[in-house]
Structure 1
Amino acid sequence: MTAFTLESFAQQSWKNDPAHSRLGFVVKHMTISEVSGRFTDFNVKVKATKKDLSDLKVEVTAKAASINTDIEARDHHLKSADFFDVEKYPEITFVSTAHKKVTDKNYKLMGNLTMHGVTRFVTLNVVYFGEAVNPTNQQKSFGFKITGTVNRANFGIGPKFPEAMISEKVKIVADVEFLKD
């Protein structure tokens, strides 16, 4: 693994490697346990034309109907009008507006998250894991972990379900490997 250089990531377009990327979430259930899930159909595109990454743009699109918590009945309920209403709001999107370096491998990524027809500004934490050349395809890959917390009530998701049943705070947990687009 080599050290991260702005020149390695800059002036190129990148997309997530679906086989090595996961877009997940965690909520508390009845204040006593955590339930996790993921969106199985999502794309992340990253582009920067300047070496200093000052024009970095990150765009995420997830199909709301691809929600998967490993419980079919729960997934069906989450797709309904009680929660994501996937017929009316088929996509979840995030578009970055800014970023800032916090430490050598830690960043803040700010942008607009749209779910359930509502757009809110969010700040996400990004940890850069490194870069490597994949020996199977000889392509350079970059790895990141993205985390954050959103309030589902701010997006009108699950308004009939109180905090004591399902936490309003939803943790976002994504692990993403990028390949050249």
Structure 2
Amino acid sequence: MSIETWRIDTTHSSIGFTVRHMVVARVHGRFSRYEGRLFVNGDDLTGAQAEVKIEAASIDTQLEARDTHLRSPDFFDVAAFKRVIFRSRRVVAVGKDRYQVVGDLTIKDFTREVVLDTEFLGRVTDPFGTERLAFSARTSIDRKDFGLTWNKALETGGVFVGERIDIELDVQVVKAAALEKAA
């Protein structure tokens, strides 16, 4: 069997995150512009390779002033670093339809290994004849490991922005040829 190229269907996918805010609450955010490819040899997902490129300026936390600050040099510095990039190195089966996708995450000019706990949700052909694969993945990172160090101490103790970022992906991919045909 030959290697198939799949592309993220961004209209049916999401890349989101949560972070503690002022110790007691969580802020939810997402990225609205990204692209990604998955290379799969048949049904063997342990041999798959993935690459995702996220436009850092597309960050959206539903508060424009916060988003502007997140785009600034205090955080993502989108003028200098346009993309957040993930490239897989290996996929390890850890149970039925469960995998650990190990790869390099690059934010700004910091690259660190991360492990995405991933569930394969299935393969289906939609009503329009397009074959789809679906995945859900989660990981957590320490934002300081990626140069996202801005913070403020609170008078009541703790800090304004938590260090741990929880990342969640819900992704559908379609064969690259199907997306090109639809365009």
TM above 0.5, yes or no, is: yes
Aligned residue among 51, 67, 70 for 2:62: 70
Question: What amino acid is aligned across from residue 113 of structure 2 in structure 1?
Answer: F
CA distance in 1, matches of 2:67, 2:119: 29
What is the distance in 1 between the residues matched to 2:97 and 2:41?
Answer: 21
- 1:14-40, Cα deviation, whole Å (9 max, x unpaired): 011111000111101011111110110
AA partner of residue 81 (structure 1): P
Root-mean-square deviation (CA, aligned residues, Å) is: 1.7
Give the AA of the match of 2:92.
Answer: K
Query: Are residues 13 and 161 of structure 1, via their aligned partners in 2, closer, same or farther at CA, if it must alter by over 3 Å?
Result: farther
1:3 alignment counterpart: none
Provide closer, same or farther for how the CA distance between residues 132 and 51 of structure 1 changes in structure 2, counting only shifts above 3 A: closer
CA distance in 2, matches of 1:165, 1:97: 34
1:164 aligns to what? 159
| Alpha-carbon shift at residue 50 of structure 1 (Å) | 6.4
Aligned to 2:146: 155
Q: Any stretches of 5+ residues in structure 1 without a counterpart?
A: 1-6
Q: Is 1:142 the counterpart of 2:137 in the alignment?
A: no
Structure 2 unaligned segments of length 5 or more: list them: 177-183
What secondary structure sits across from 2:87 in the alignment? strand
Aligned-pair CA distance for 1:129: 1.2
- 1:16-35 paired onto structure 2 within 5 Å: 16-35=8-27
Following superposition, which runs of at least 4 residues in structure 1 exceed 4 angstroms of deviation? none
Match of residue 130, structure 1, among 101, 122, 125: 122
Q: What TM-score, normalized by structure 2, do the two folds share?
A: 0.88
Aligned identity (percent) is 33
For residues 71-94 of structure 1, the C-alpha deviation after alignment (integer angstroms, 9 at most, x for no partner) is: 111111100011100001111000
The aligned length equals 172
8 A Cα contact 1:11 1:51, kept in partner: no
8 Å CA contact retained: 2:46, 2:93: no
Q: Name the structure 2 match of 1:83.
A: 75
In the alignment, the residues of structure 1 paired with residue 39 and residue 129 of structure 2 have an alpha-carbon distance, to the nearest angstrom, of 21
